[in-house]
Amino acid sequence: MTLEGLSSVAILGAGKIGGAFVRQILQKTGIRVYATGRRVETLRGAESLGAVATRDNDEAVRRSELVVIAVKPYHFPQLLSEVKQESWKGKIVVSLMAGVKLATLRAALHGAKVFRAMPNLNAYVGKSSTAVSENLYDDASRTVEEFLGLFGQVYWVPEEYLDVWTGLAGSGPAFIAEVLDALAMGAVAAGMPRELSYKAVLDVLEGTAILLKNGFYQHPAMLRDDVTTPAGTTIRGLMVLESGGVKATLMKVIEAAARRSREIGNEIDSRIREKINSRIGHTA
Ligand SMILES: NC(=O)c1ccc[n+]([C@@H]2O[C@H](COP(=O)([O-])OP(=O)(O)OC[C@H]3O[C@@H](n4cnc5c(N)ncnc54)[C@H](OP(=O)(O)O)[C@@H]3O)[C@@H](O)[C@H]2O)c1
């Protein structure tokens, strides 16, 4: 099935990332979107974007060919209890939940073709960097790739990389925002107005990203060297950066975030498995 063949998509949990998905789908395609939530505010927000908003997760799943799970991982057992097992049959399901493993999703969603993806909040403007596991090399994979392409770049990766991806690209917008804020504050400390500093820093980020993305430099260090005049301003700044251990700190930031993703995964995944097993035991 191509994206054009999709008539309806369900977004289960139209919160921050789910809402970003709703927005892009409705801006870029004619696909009908069923968006679910619990609070009136969530439903109204989705409705204002043009989605069909409902509290009924089962109906949203039944009416859609592709289903996105965008609730917090610890809300997944409750969501499962709200959708009849047979409703998942034949659906393409893309889980955005951090930590919940493919094997667990497959055990929970019988008869569905299940994918696990990790986008980031830049999906709101179609600029996410999204990893997805695992490529089944069939029609469903092509549909999922085209679908996730609505929100930005898509990379098929083995599931074992998803925790690092979560630390780097999932959490990444927050880390970049902090670095941008620090640089702008530095300019404020040196005497420039905040608004102008902030604009300048954003331009620098954008231009640097374009230079690197378009291959003008093979490595960030080469770009750095081109800016660094002997005895100039940049080397003085770089010396402070080095003495503050900023590079090592940023490396540890990603390592720590990836480690936490793994930890959450292990905690949550086993809790969800217990619930699934007890549910299966209960209904048997
Ligand atoms: N935020 C990110 O940058 C990001 C990036 C990648 C992946 N993710 C993943 O995406 C998921 C959602 O994260 P988020 O930041 O978007 O959280 P969020 O803003 O809290 O959104 C979660 C939504 O799920 C809804 N929900 C909870 N239980 C539900 C149920 N039983 N039925 C229907 N809707 C239900 C909530 O509705 P109410 O508000 O009405 O209670 C809420 O709107 C998480 O698993 C996270 O790991 C997030």
| Residue 71 marked as a ligand binder | yes
Q: Closest Cα partner for 210 from 228, 223, 196?
A: 223
CA 261 to ligand 1 center in whole angstroms: 16
Q: Is the pLDDT of residue 279 over 80?
A: no
Would you state the pLDDT for residue 283?
Answer: 47
Q: Closest Cα partner for 17 from 77, 71, 76?
A: 71
The pLDDT mean for the chain works out to 94
Q: What is the pLDDT of residues 127-151, one digit of tens each?
A: 999 999 988 878 999 999 999 999 9
| Residue 57 marked as a ligand binder | yes
CA 74 to ligand 1 center in whole angstroms: 10
Would you state the pLDDT for residue 173?
Answer: 98
Q: What is the pLDDT of residues 18-39, one digit of tens each?
A: 999 999 999 999 999 999 999 9
Q: What is the pLDDT of residues 146-172, one digit of tens each?
A: 999 999 999 999 999 999 999 999 999
- For domain 3-158, give its CATH number from 3.40.50.720, 3.30.565.10, 3.65.10.10, 3.30.360.10: 3.40.50.720
Domain limits of the chain?
3-158
- Mutational pocket test of ligand 1: of 16, 59, 124, the residue with most ligand atoms within 8 Å of the beta carbon: 16
Q: What is the pLDDT of residues 69-114, one digit of tens each?
A: 999 998 999 999 999 999 999 999 999 999 889 999 999 998 999 9
Atom of ligand 1 nearest to the CA of 18: 16
| Residue 114 marked as a ligand binder | no
Q: Is the pLDDT of residue 284 over 50?
A: no
- Atom 18 of ligand 1 has which residue's CA nearest to it? 15
Ligand 1 binding pocket, CB closer than 6 Å: 12-18, 36-39, 42, 57, 70-73, 75, 78-79, 82, 96-98, 118-121, 170
